[in-house]
């Protein structure tokens, strides 16, 4: 079949890094991604594997970082080349059922014992299985879309394990593909939002700041509003349409990105200290969710989070240089928020993040966030569009494979 594939090619990764510095998404032309005919991936051994025909596959920030050559070398041993990217996927089984992919290639998919009964694919505190070839022959890979054995969503079809699939109830008009493709990023955002709860619940008038209002930032805002409802949400967004969506998804106060520090200050009533262009808050948000993950956004998060507060790092940061003096001085806790899994809610019940995400995208009718779809043939334009989504008034860009 013909698919988009990434090969290990140091030269192309280097070229991508250079090109992307001057042209967002331009690395799709010169980088490691190729639209080419590939050998169909062999069916993995062991039971429970299904052939999933892609209907829509999203382009995520981590995909863009990878294509631009900005992904951290940390993942060197957690992926297996060559691989077909695409982990935000809604697809269709041979049976005609539509499914949403939970992409982590967890214990069940690799023929291993679950870390606990009912565990989700990303649960567990030992990642050995993700970095080694499994007994059923699945090569290293944190998720579908980073593993050479399974294929990925940026192809007409790929292999997925039963443990990774969430069947969609309802017809395409009742639960559109455009909504379904957002479940995975929303699960990530909700997972980050829930990390705010322990700190927020200890405060009288908790304030959570969210940096960035792309898909992940919006998902975090929606997650906070639904599952940590006692917090005041202050969101910083660069573009007008993002600010509109942030307010619609539940932010109490929305500021331009550069004005977020002042907006948080107003909310908590503290002082701004130092350089008026980059002041430090004397107090700040109880929790800051950084949905961008750049050096600047992490530095901002440190400036606007109150002493003793928590930063939840939702955006993938890669290799950044940051002055951590503020983190040290303010005794701020920084937590990563990689994916999703099994969540413990305030009432003591547990559920999967994907279940919460499905409820959330349904309540919000989040399909409005899908701004543009492209065929795989037009992947250069698609990547360029996704890389400049904010500037172009877009949120989520997807590959369209329905009817192909």
Partner 1 sequence: MPRPGFVLDVDRSTPPTLFWRGEGFSLERLPADRSRIIYPPEPLKGLDHLDHHIRNALLNPIDMEPLPALLKPGMRLTIAFDDVSLSLPKMRRPDNRQRIVEAVLDMAAEAGVDDVHIIAALGLHRRMHEYEMRHVLGDRVVDAFMPRGQLYNHDAEDHENLTVVGETDHGEVLEINKRAAESDLIVYANVNQVAMDGGWKSLVTGLASYRCLSHHHNPESLRNTKSLMDRHHSALHHSIWRMGKVLRDSGPAVFQVETTINTEAFPSPFEFLAKREWEWTAKDRALFLGTSKALNKMPNTTKRKLFHNIEAPYRTTSVQAGYTESVHEITLQNVHEQHLVEVEGQTDILTMGIPFISPYNPESIMNPILVMCMGLGYLFNMYRGKPLVRAGGVVIMTHPTYEDFHPVHHPSYIDFFDEVLADTTDPAEMSTKWEKKYAEDDWYRHLYRTSYAYHGVHPFYAWYWGAHGQQHAGRVIIVGGHAPAVRRLGFTPASTMSDALEIASDVVGRNPTISHLHVPGVLVADVK
Binding residue for partner 1, selected from 259, 323, 365, 377, defined by CB under 8 A: 259
- Of positions 18, 114, 272, 334, contacts partner 1 by CB under 8 A: 272
- Is 166 one of the binding residues for partner 1 (CB under 8 A)? no
3-state SS class at 282 = coil
The nearer residue to partner 1, 276 or 403, going by C-beta atoms, is: 276
Stretch that binds partner 1, among 217-225, 274-282, 290-298, 382-390 (CB under 8 A): 274-282
Contact between 347 and partner 1 per CB under 8 A? no
Q: Which two tokens stand for residue 283?
A: 């107090």
Which helix (H) or strand (E) is 232 found in, with range?
strand 232-237
Separation of alpha carbons 200 and 309, rounded Å: 9
Using the contact rule CB under 8 A, the part of the chain among 21-29, 50-58, 265-273, 378-386 near partner 1 is 265-273
CB of 298 to partner 1, least distance (A): 24
Residue 391 interacts with partner 1 (CB under 8 A)? no
* β strands within 77-206, DSSP E: 89-93, 98-101, 157-161, 165-167
Under 8 Å between Cβ of 314 and 293: yes
Q: Is 270 in the site for partner 1 (CB under 8 A)?
A: yes
- Residues 277-296 as x/- pattern, contact with partner 1 by CB under 8 A: x----x--------------
Residue 93 CB, shortest distance to partner 1, in Å, is 49
Task: Establish how many alpha carbons lie within 13 A of residue 237's alpha carbon, considering only the half-sphere containing its beta carbon.
Answer: 29
Task: Report d(CA 248, CA 143) in Å as an integer.
Answer: 31
Compute how many other C-beta atoms are within 10 angstroms of the C-beta atom of residue 18.
15
What is the footprint of partner 1 within residues 60-79 (CB under 8 A)?
none
Q: Does 265 bind partner 1 (CB under 8 A)?
A: yes
Q: How far apart are CA 341 and CA 121, in angstroms?
A: 7
The residue from 269, 331, 347, 350 that contacts partner 1 (CB under 8 A) is: 269
Report, in Å, the least distance between residue 266 CB and partner 1.
6
- Told to check if 262 binds partner 1 by CB under 8 A, we report yes
> Is omega for the bond preceding 330 within 30 degrees of 0, making it cis?
no
Work out which of 168, 263, 314, 356 binds partner 1, going by CB under 8 A: 263
Q: Which two tokens stand for residue 81?
A: 């080349």
Question: Rounded CA gap, 296 and 293, in Å?
Answer: 8
Q: Which residue among 118, 276, 348, 403 contacts partner 1 (CB under 8 A)?
A: 276
Cβ-based nearer residue to partner 1, 161 or 265: 265
Token pair recorded at residue 72: 């951290």
In eight-state DSSP terms, residue 39 is P
Beta bridge partners of 92: 53, 98
State yes or no: residue 234 binds partner 1 (CB under 8 A): no
Least Å distance, CB 304 to partner 1, is 14
Q: Say if residues 309 and 287 touch (Cβ distance below 8 Å).
A: yes
x-marked contacts with partner 1 along 357-386 as a string, rule CB under 8 A: ------------------------------
C-alpha 62/C-alpha 293 separation (Å) is 10
Of residues 253 and 292, the one with the C-beta less far from partner 1? 253
Residue 205 binds to partner 1 (criterion: CB under 8 A): no
Query: Rounded distance, CA 397 to CA 220, Å?
Result: 19
Piece in contact with partner 1 (CB under 8 A), picked from 158-166, 202-210, 263-271, 388-396: 263-271
Q: Does 255 bind partner 1 (CB under 8 A)?
A: yes
Rounded to whole angstroms, how far apart are CA atoms 86 and 49?
18
* 15-23, 150-158, 252-260, 331-339 -> range binding partner 1 (CB under 8 A): 252-260
| CA R_g for the chain | 20
Single out the segment in contact with partner 1 by CB under 8 A; choices: 45-53, 84-92, 253-261, 378-386.
253-261
**Residues sharing a CB contact under 8 Å with residue 77, sequence separation 6 or more, in sequence order:** 131, 140
Nearer to partner 1, 7 or 240 (CB): 240
324 contacts 307 by C-beta, under 8 angstroms: no
Interface with partner 1, residue 8, by CB under 8 A: no
Residue closer to partner 1, measured from CB, 233 or 384:
233
Task: Tell me the β-bridge partners of 51.
Answer: 159
Rounded CA-CA distance 211/257 in Å is: 7
Q: Which residues of this chain interact with partner 1, rule CB under 8 A?
A: 253, 255-256, 259, 262-263, 265-266, 269-272, 276-277, 282
């Amino acid at each position: 079949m013909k698919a988009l594939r990434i090969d290990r090619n140091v030269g192309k990764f280097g070229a991508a890094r250079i090109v992307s510095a001057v042209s967002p998404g331009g690395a799709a032309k010169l980088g490691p991604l190729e639209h080419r005919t590939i050998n169909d991936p062999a069916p993995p051994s062991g039971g429970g594997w299904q052939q999933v025909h892609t209907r829509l596959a999203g382009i995520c920030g981590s995909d863009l970082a990878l294509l631009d050559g900005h992904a951290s070398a940390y993942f060197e041993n957690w992926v297996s080349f060559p691989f077909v990217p695409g982990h935000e996927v809604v697809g269709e089984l041979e049976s005609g059922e539509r499914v949403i992919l939970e992409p982590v290639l967890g214990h069940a998919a690799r023929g291993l014992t679950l870390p606990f009964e009912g565990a989700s694919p990303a649960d567990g505190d030992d990642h050995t299985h993700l970095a080694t070839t499994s007994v059923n022959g699945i090569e290293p890979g944190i998720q579908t879309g980073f593993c050479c054995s399974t294929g990925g969503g940026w192809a007409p079809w790929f292999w997925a394990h039963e443990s990774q699939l969430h069947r969609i109830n309802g017809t395409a008009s009742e639960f559109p593909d455009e909504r379904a493709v957002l479940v995975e990023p929303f699960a990530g955002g909700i997972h980050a939002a829930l990390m705010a709860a322990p700190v927020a619940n200890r405060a009288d008038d908790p304030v959570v700041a969210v940096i960035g209002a792309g898909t992940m930032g919006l998902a975090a805002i929606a997650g906070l509003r639904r599952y940590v409802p006692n917090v005041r949400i202050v969101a910083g967004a660069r573009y007008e349409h993002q600010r509109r969506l942030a307010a619609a998804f539940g932010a109490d106060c929305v500021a331009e990105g550069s004005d977020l520090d002042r907006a948080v200050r107003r909310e908590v009533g503290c002082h701004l200290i130092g350089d008026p262009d980059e002041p430090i808050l004397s107090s700040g948000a109880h929790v800051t969710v950084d949905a961008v993950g750049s050096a600047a956004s992490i530095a901002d998060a440190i400036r606007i989070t109150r002493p003793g507060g928590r930063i939840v790092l939702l955006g993938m940061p890669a290799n950044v240089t940051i002055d951590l003096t503020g983190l040290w001085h303010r005794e701020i806790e920084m937590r990563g928020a990689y994916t999703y899994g099994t969540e413990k809610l305030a009432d003591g019940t547990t559920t999967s993040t994907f279940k919460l995400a499905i409820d959330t995208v349904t309540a919000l009718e989040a399909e409005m966030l899908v701004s543009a779809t492209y065929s795989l043939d037009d992947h250069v334009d698609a990547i360029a569009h996704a890389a400049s989504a904010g500037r172009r008034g877009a949120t989520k860009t997807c590959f369209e494979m329905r009817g192909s």
